[in-house]
Structure 1
Amino acid sequence: MDHFLGIFVVANCYRNGIGVVRSLQNANYWYQKERDKQLVATRELPYNVDNGLKNMLLENKYRLSWIPYNEFKNIEKIGEGGFATVYYAVWDNKYLDADIPAALKIIHRSKKYSEKDYSEQFIKELKAYCDIGYDNPSFLECYGVTMDDVSKEYIIVMRHALEGCLRKNLSSVAMMGWQNKLTLLLCIISDLKTIHSKKYYSSRFT
């Protein structure tokens, strides 16, 4: 576990210029090393998983795992939007024997959509995150997919961002020196550039 966190810390230091010369190339290298380290083989999938999603998991292009819902604990709501709710959770990763902070994005069903439409909507959302992270490992990493045991709604499992969003960090940003503020701005620009290069656009900046 210490080795896993150490790799992540090194990546963040290069990304944010903490104690080293800032280098997105070096940051991406270490983020990729972290991703390789935490990779968990996809386990046997539940019988009711959509075939399109099943194929996406099994082809392994994005190195996603099917994660049993009962491996998450200390779940608490941290945000919601029009069609999704985001929770913070601790992932009891059996493979690494480690507790990993994670964000769970539940994509809600809509009565006006069929089961097929719902699955296609989820896969589209999942693929958007994965396409961005595939080219830019410093972007929020997707660990895999799970399903709510009660609602049977699909969930995207991602690396948890400290404090969740920019708005919640404004008090900390205000206390930064100008060099650190500039570094943060460059990181935001880098992520937005990656998002736009994939023809995706963010409707909520904060």
Structure 2
Amino acid sequence: MSNKEVKDSNYYIDWLEKSIANEYLSYYEYSEFKNIKQIGNGSFGSVSRANWKNTDTILVLKSFNNLNPTLKEIVNELKLHRDVHFNANIIKFYGITKTETGKNEKINY
């Protein structure tokens, strides 16, 4: 990984952490989601349906694979979702979570 890629990656990680700390983005523990079932996947990651906590509320979790090459795209997509919450044709964005399994870390929203 080049020096520029590391700088870019650090910038977007810092942006995510600051957005959560300043409450611009909500962060949820992955353990708050139950009955997680994958409903699709693609080259960037997968989409799953899940129940939130112990409710009947169904949410969609979009998971990204391989964070480093797509971190910029993830942040840009999060910014777009945050800004278009008023559109009835867009699934409401609630926040992000993260899963850690061994060496793989995924951001979900």
- For normalisation by structure 1, the TM-score amounts to 0.41
In structure 1, the residue matched to 2:65 is: 108
Q: Which has the higher helix share?
A: 1
Counterpart for residue 14 of structure 2: 51
Q: What residue identity is the alignment partner of 2:35?
A: N
- The Cα RMSD (Å) is 2.4
Q: Report what 1:198 is aligned to.
A: none
> How far apart are 1:99 and its partner, in Å?
4.2
After TM superposition, the structure 1 = structure 2 runs for residues 65-80 of structure 1, keeping only pairs within 5 Å, are 65-80=26-41
State the secondary structure of the residue aligned to 1:103: strand
Distance 1:145 1:137 in 2: 20
1:137 is displaced (CA, Å) by: 5.7
SS in 1 for 2:47: strand
Name the structure 1 match of 2:5: none
Letter in 2 for 1:104: L
User: Relative contact order: is structure 1 or structure 2 higher (C-alpha 8 Å, sep ≥ 6)?
Assistant: 2
* 1:123 and 2:86 aligned: no
The count of corresponding residues between Structure 1 and Structure 2 is 96
Larger of the two Rg values belongs to structure: 1
- Residue 41 (structure 2) pairs with residue 84 (structure 1): no
CA distance in 2: counterparts of 1:129 and 1:65, whole angstroms: 13
Q: Which has the higher strand share?
A: 2
Tell me which amino acid in the other structure corresponds to 1:130.
Answer: R
8 A contact 1:69–1:149 mirrored in 2: no
Deviation digits for residues 17-60 of structure 1 (CA, Å, limit 9, x no counterpart) = xxxxxxxxxxxxxxxxxxxxxxxxxxxxxxxxx22101222333
Question: Aligned pair in 2 of structure 1 residues 118, 139: CA closer, same or farther (>3 Å)?
Answer: closer
Structure 1 runs, 4 residues or longer, greater than 3 Å off: 58-61
- 1:149 & 1:91 partners in 2: Cα distance? 19
- 1:141 corresponds to which residue? 92
| Structure 1 residue 86: Cα displacement | 0.1
Task: Give yes or no for contact 1:86–1:105 (8 Å, CA) kept in 2.
Answer: yes
Deviation of 1:152 (Å): 1.1
For the residues of structure 2 that align with 1:103 and 1:149, how far apart are their CA atoms?
A: 19
With over 3 angstroms needed to count, the CA separation of the structure-2 counterparts of 1:99 and 1:54, relative to structure 1, is: farther
Q: TM-score, normalised by structure 2?
A: 0.72
Q: Which runs of 5+ in 1 are unaligned?
A: 1-49, 157-206
